[in-house]
Structure 1
Amino acid sequence: MLILHGHPLSTFHMKAAMALYETGAPFEQVLLDLGDEGARNRFYAFWPLGKFPVLRDEARGETVPETAIILDYLSSFYPGETVLIPRDPDLAWKVRLAERIYDLHVQTSMQKIIDNRLRPAEAKDPFGLEQARGHLRRTLDFLEAGQGSRAWAVGEAFTGADCAAAPALYYADKVLPFEASHPALWAYFQRLKARPSFARVLQDAAPYLHMFPAES
């Protein structure tokens, strides 16, 4: 049994869940409430660093953290019809690069914007906010230029890079709407939203979407 520990509202949880849905491997999702001492202690018992999501593979006795590693793990041990990491080494590094750009540049900048919304008025960081917006805008420009007419993040086949892109773009659009400014990226985002695996991820997140902080 595969168990994904995390929270459906988390972009990185969405990424891992989308990859799992793409493989077709049966899995269970365990909602983590780290504010609950008992739940926190149980989670820390098998993953002391306390960062989620974490995939637990009971059949193999493995605890797999970090979404990039989770995708590699699924590709190796639970391959499905969707090839998350191509065997062609020239495609594989490009998939991993695209995945990291969405993780480290889109998601990180987007998260800084969201974190600023959560701060009390006296602790807002206007300078940091503009830095994050600027970096997110540059990253979207970079992705727009590279997307062109490609169907997916890396060519014409859906891969693990698209599992990273879907939640990153979903939340990026909430903090820096890009429909009018980035047409190729927006068209790609629509294809991602039409993907059954992402539709399921959004369905999982639906009960919690009201928790997303509005701009203040």
Structure 2
Amino acid sequence: MPITFYGHYFSSFCQKALIAFYEHGLDYTFREIDFQNDEIMQELGALWPIRKMPVIVDQNRTVIESSIIVEYVDERYHRDFRLIPQDADRAIEVRFMDRFFDHYVATPQMKLVIDAMRSEGEHDPYGVAKAKVMLETSYAWLDEKMKDRTWAIGNDFTLADCAAGPHLFYAHWSHPIDPRFENLRAYRDRLMARPSFARCIEDGRYFRPFFPLDVPHMDLD
């Protein structure tokens, strides 16, 4: 029986989990989350009262949070490679880089998006400025980190890259990566060309007009 995946194709955290599905060639049944749809929200809430996505159900087992979902499918359904290295030291580095992309790229990026969705008079210019500083700091750190690496921890595609792809994709839309960070921009390009993430980009293309920041010129191909 295919895994049931509760999420949205335009969500970076859902894309992060879906990359792992595509890397391992997993089938799934998709339940699209619509916050205006009471039926699907009740269904999601019965599985996870916090009502955050993604959530998966596999053989009556509910698995929550994108990093945990990636680890779950990697442990149970991996093929000839692993997204979490078996070597303990390398696994720690992968998990650290995963946390870095979630906390220091995705979180400030979402701050910019959420602020853009607020009504006039409800904006948070101080918070936006702090988020941009965090992104600039993260970009600079990552650019140095990626100067001699193909993927986040070296030559192997891992959980960290599952996080990096969608988070850097939308971060560049929200606060463009300066051309001086050429290592980071090249890494983002490699992620976009990876078949598993390229599929996520296509899955979410329909929803681009709903992105609240004016980036029609970004990543048109």
The answer as to whether partners of 2:98 and 2:160 remain within 8 angstroms in 1 is yes
> Could you tell me how far apart the structure 1 residues matched to 2:114 and 2:136 are?
17
Pair 67,210 (structure 1): closer, same or farther in 2 beyond 3 Å: same
Structure-to-structure mapping, 1:62-211, within 5 angstroms: 62-211=61-210
Deviation digits for residues 12-61 of structure 1, max 9, x if unmatched? Answer: 00100111101112112211112111111111112222111101113xx2
In the TM superposition, residue 179 of structure 1 has moved relative to its aligned partner by 4.7
Question: Which residue matches 1:2?
Answer: 3
Deviation digits for residues 121-179 of structure 1, max 9, x if unmatched? Answer: 21111111100100111011111111112110011011111010000100010011115
Q: Any stretches of 5+ residues in structure 2 without a counterpart?
A: 215-221
> Could you tell me how far apart the structure 2 residues matched to 1:19 and 1:53 are?
13
Please give the secondary structure, in 2, of the residue aligned with 1:190.
helix
Question: Which residue matches 2:17?
Answer: 16
The answer as to whether partners of 2:20 and 2:74 remain within 8 angstroms in 1 is no
The answer as to whether partners of 1:4 and 1:53 remain within 8 angstroms in 2 is yes
Question: Which residue matches 1:29?
Answer: 30
The answer as to whether partners of 1:22 and 1:81 remain within 8 angstroms in 2 is no
> Could you tell me how far apart the structure 2 residues matched to 1:130 and 1:49 are?
29
> Could you tell me how far apart the structure 1 residues matched to 2:190 and 2:68 are?
25
The answer as to whether partners of 2:174 and 2:213 remain within 8 angstroms in 1 is no
The answer as to whether partners of 1:95 and 1:161 remain within 8 angstroms in 2 is yes
> Could you tell me how far apart the structure 1 residues matched to 2:186 and 2:193 are?
11
> Could you tell me how far apart the structure 1 residues matched to 2:186 and 2:49 are?
41
Taking every aligned residue pair, what percent have the same amino acid on both sides?
36
Pair 205,81 (structure 1): closer, same or farther in 2 beyond 3 Å: farther
The answer as to whether partners of 2:23 and 2:196 remain within 8 angstroms in 1 is yes
Pair 212,82 (structure 1): closer, same or farther in 2 beyond 3 Å: farther
In the TM superposition, residue 181 of structure 1 has moved relative to its aligned partner by 2.6
In the TM superposition, residue 80 of structure 1 has moved relative to its aligned partner by 2.4
> Aligned partner of 1:87: which letter?
Q
The answer as to whether partners of 1:82 and 1:158 remain within 8 angstroms in 2 is no
Give the TM-score normalised by the residue count of structure 2: 0.93
Give the TM-score normalised by the residue count of structure 1: 0.95
> Could you tell me how far apart the structure 2 residues matched to 1:145 and 1:138 are?
11
